[in-house]
Chains A and B, each alone.
Chain A
Amino acid sequence: MSARDAILAAVRGNKPSQAVPRPDVPFFDRLADDALVDEFRRRLEQMGGRWLDPGPAEEPLAPARARIAQAGIVCSNVARLPGTRTLAAGDAPALLHDVDLAVVRAAFGIAETGSVAFSERELVVNTIGYLAQHLLVMLDPADIVGNLHHAYARPEMHAGHYLVFQTGPSATADIEGVLIHGAQGVRSLTVMLVARTIA
């Protein structure tokens, strides 16, 4: 008997016999729509993420451009915020090892946890979200959902091959519980709220 059939047969023989109902999961809505941005910011900063205010109405992208100008090698997936290197799907993942700053638009944000979500569509090459030293994220305030239940109801869960919720920079507290940012992935993660129509 193959391992597969042996395991399935053992599971079948040993599982409980009584039927168990499958519970439905409610959405647990607690936050009013106009409270989402504030809660997102609070949690983002609690988790070590940084907040960048957009510029004035005439030049909302100015603060992002200033960040990009200061960085060395910049990979950007945001058309109106060009970096120094462009990415194409299929580029070797390890090629991004020397990137200082990556600029990416988030698919959506989660207020409850201060997370930003990326699929392979936003990242183009997934490793841009980890190998770069710093990450600058554009997020449309209209794309912020209240909590994880809403995040998992999004279409991204059922499309594409990769979806990550990133919450602040990479972190570790494995040595004496001291929190350190920049464990293996990015050393900082900054979010700027900008509508999709702008960038």
Chain B
Amino acid sequence: MKRIDIDHAEGRSRRIDTPGHHPEREAQPRGAIRRGKRPIDHAEAAERFLAAPDHLAFHDQRLWDLRQKRDREAFAIPEWEELRDLASSIKDYALANLDTLLEEFERNAQANGITVHWARDGAEHNRIVVEIMRRHDAPLLVKSKSMLTEECGFRDHMQEQGLAVIETDLGERIQQLDNEDPSHVVVPAVHKLRADVAAVFAKTLGTDPDNHDPAYLAEQQRESNRPLILGAGVGMTGANFLVAETGTVVVCTNEGNADLSANVPPVHIVSAGIEKIIPRAGDLGVFIRLLSRSALGSPITQYTSHFRGPRLGAEMHVILVDNGRSARLGMQQFRSALKCIRCGACMNTCPVYRRSGGLSYGATYAGPIGLIIDPTIDQRKYSALPYASTLNGSCTAVCPVKIDIHQQIHAWRGIMAEQKEPSRTKRTAMKAAALLLAHPSAYRVAVRTVGTVLPHMPRFAVYNPLNAWGRGREVPNAPRRTFHDWYKANRT
């Protein structure tokens, strides 16, 4: 395997040097501690991530690098904003007609020979897969990355049933072998350094523990997965889009693992959330042009695959999964979160996400979009998450389907505050912040004085237990002059 230096959106990644002295010895910080239904303590897990300087620096810079590449690709397309508007309104249309579009998809998929199943929740989804595997006497399933199956607790269930599941995406495989959830929707193992991966592979795949070269490690995974793929009885993929008009399932990957999972075994199962529907094939142009540019800053994923029916002699199943989505459709305030195409751009740009790591959210969905979705899944357990945001609006600015992310996060805070969900500390802090933010002139004065006051403020004033925002955050470098001052001087 060759490492190639080319002008590729990812290839342009500069090597990120971490500041610590022992990047090879710094233990990888683990994610949030989960205690049943008790609220997830994001701040506690974030603090542990902050205490690992090499991991923190790499994570922060790598994701910011993706954000910058996203900007470069977006600015290169004159119609970028028009595409975002189109994507947003196509999704609005799809949500407003979701029932009829689902029926249309089902009709067309069935006409092409696809078996369509419906699952109300994760358990039902998992049962359907087990049933298909038993019918085919297949003990092994190879799958490509899918956030939906993470929601469904799929792998654990399969293990209980004595059925083997192999993740074929490299990042997802690393996470599977390390018994961790993915920490990011696009780059699942981005919180790990190469030494962490080398340690996991040495333990589980028997690779050389001292060889940390990413090319070596990736090659080891390729070689160890390949025979499993060749022998698997069932292959599973997720779906990025479902096209109602044609009954097509669209899957985007860079590794080609979805195509291997779908094309090698005699059975292909697609797990898809019902909100993945778009009306027409012509709409795909909009979404495919936005997806990878927003996610990785590349013009397209290496593989964009369209499955419209089973291969000659093979079977194809699509499981349409609800798992709370139809209920979310009824939550008027949070409905538009269903438009999410899981590009991860909001995470890459979020200052809190970049510095706390995805696993600190203790939920399937991390980062800004997670702050909206997670409480719709369990309001008590994820009651503290809406506070894991600075509300700077950067997420909203990059979202390719124009979800008003930060406003929805703010709306959740209102609900949590009403129901007294957050701790007293956070409410006190929020009240002060809310007061400040509610009075623009006072806010501007405060921002202007920050530059002169902050450097002289004792650390305990910023980092005291009453300031929930100060926890896990460094004092920012305040600009010498605020935008507002500049604007007033130059434009009025």
What residues on A are CB-neighbors of B11 within 8 Å? 48, 179
Does A21 sit within 8 A of B, measured CB to CB?
yes
| CB neighbors of A among B285-328 (8 A) | 285-286, 288-289, 296, 298-313, 320, 322, 326-327
B98 closest partner in A (C-beta): A11
What residues on B are CB-neighbors of A183 within 8 Å? 170, 218, 222, 254-257
The complex places the Cα of A118 from the Cα of B217 at a distance, in Å, of: 30
B112 closest partner in A (C-beta): A161
The complex places the Cα of A177 from the Cα of B67 at a distance, in Å, of: 13
Does A25 sit within 8 A of B, measured CB to CB?
yes
Does B10 sit within 8 A of A, measured CB to CB?
yes
User: Are the CB atoms of A175 and B310 closer together than 8 Å?
Assistant: no
Can you list, as one digit per residue, whether each of A157-184 has a CB less than 8 Å from chain B (1) or not (0)? 1101111111111111111111111111
The complex places the Cα of A131 from the Cα of B225 at a distance, in Å, of: 12
Given the interface pairs A10-B327, A130-B263, A165-B300, the reply to whether A177 lies near B13 with Cβ below 8 Å is yes
What residues on A are CB-neighbors of B174 within 8 Å? 174-175
B279 closest partner in A (C-beta): A22
User: Are the CB atoms of B6 and A172 closer together than 8 Å?
Assistant: no
What residues on A are CB-neighbors of B99 within 8 Å? 8, 11-12, 15
Q: How far is the CB of A82 from chain B (nearest CB, A)?
A: 23
B174 closest partner in A (C-beta): A174
User: Are the CB atoms of A18 and B96 closer together than 8 Å?
Assistant: yes
The complex places the Cα of A22 from the Cα of B15 at a distance, in Å, of: 45
Q: How far is the CB of B375 from chain A (nearest CB, A)?
A: 17
Does B483 sit within 8 A of A, measured CB to CB?
no
Q: How far is the CB of A70 from chain B (nearest CB, A)?
A: 17
The complex places the Cα of A89 from the Cα of B4 at a distance, in Å, of: 35
User: Are the CB atoms of B313 and A90 closer together than 8 Å?
Assistant: yes
Can you list, as one digit per residue, whether each of A1-20 has a CB less than 8 Å from chain B (1) or not (0)? 01110111011111110111
What residues on A are CB-neighbors of B257 within 8 Å? 183-185
User: Are the CB atoms of B7 and A45 closer together than 8 Å?
Assistant: yes
User: Are the CB atoms of A176 and B306 closer together than 8 Å?
Assistant: no
B1 closest partner in A (C-beta): A182
Does A109 sit within 8 A of B, measured CB to CB?
no
Chain A interface extent, by class: 35 or more
The complex places the Cα of A167 from the Cα of B2 at a distance, in Å, of: 18
Of B150-158, B188-196, B474-482, the segment with at least 4 beta carbons within 8 Å of chain A is B188-196
Chain B interface extent, by class: 35 or more
Q: How far is the CB of A87 from chain B (nearest CB, A)?
A: 12
Given the interface pairs A15-B95, A177-B13, A184-B260, the reply to whether A171 lies near B302 with Cβ below 8 Å is yes
User: Are the CB atoms of A148 and B285 closer together than 8 Å?
Assistant: yes
What residues on A are CB-neighbors of B119 within 8 Å? 3
Q: How far is the CB of B299 from chain A (nearest CB, A)?
A: 5
Can you list, as one digit per residue, whether each of B89-131 has a CB less than 8 Å from chain A (1) or not (0)? 1101101111100110000000011000111100010000000
The complex places the Cα of A153 from the Cα of B45 at a distance, in Å, of: 48
A187 closest partner in B (C-beta): B1
Which of A90, A94, A160, A170 has a CB less than 8 Å from the CB of B255?
Answer: A170
B90 closest partner in A (C-beta): A23
Q: Which residues of B contact A (CB under 8 A)?
A: 1-4, 6-11, 13, 15-16, 58, 62, 65, 78-79, 82, 86, 89-90, 92-93, 95-99, 102-103, 112-113, 117-120, 124, 168-171, 174, 187-190, 192-194, 197, 214-215, 217-219, 222, 225-226, 230-231, 246, 248, 254-257, 259-260, 263-264, 274, 279, 281-286, 288-289, 296, 298-313, 320, 322, 326-327, 329-330, 332, 335
| 10 examples of A-B residue contacts, CB within 8 angstroms | A7-B120, A12-B99, A20-B92, A47-B302, A161-B112, A173-B187, A179-B13, A182-B2, A184-B168, A184-B225
Q: Which residues of A contact B (CB under 8 A)?
A: 2-4, 6-8, 10-16, 18-23, 25, 28, 30, 43, 45-48, 89-90, 93-94, 97, 112-115, 120, 126-127, 129-131, 147-149, 151-153, 157-158, 160-187
Known: A46-B6, A180-B214. 20 other contacts (CB 8 A): A2-B118, A7-B320, A11-B274, A22-B279, A114-B299, A127-B264, A162-B309, A166-B302, A172-B170, A173-B254, A175-B214, A181-B1, A181-B2, A182-B219, A183-B257, A184-B170, A184-B255, A184-B260, A185-B259, A186-B256
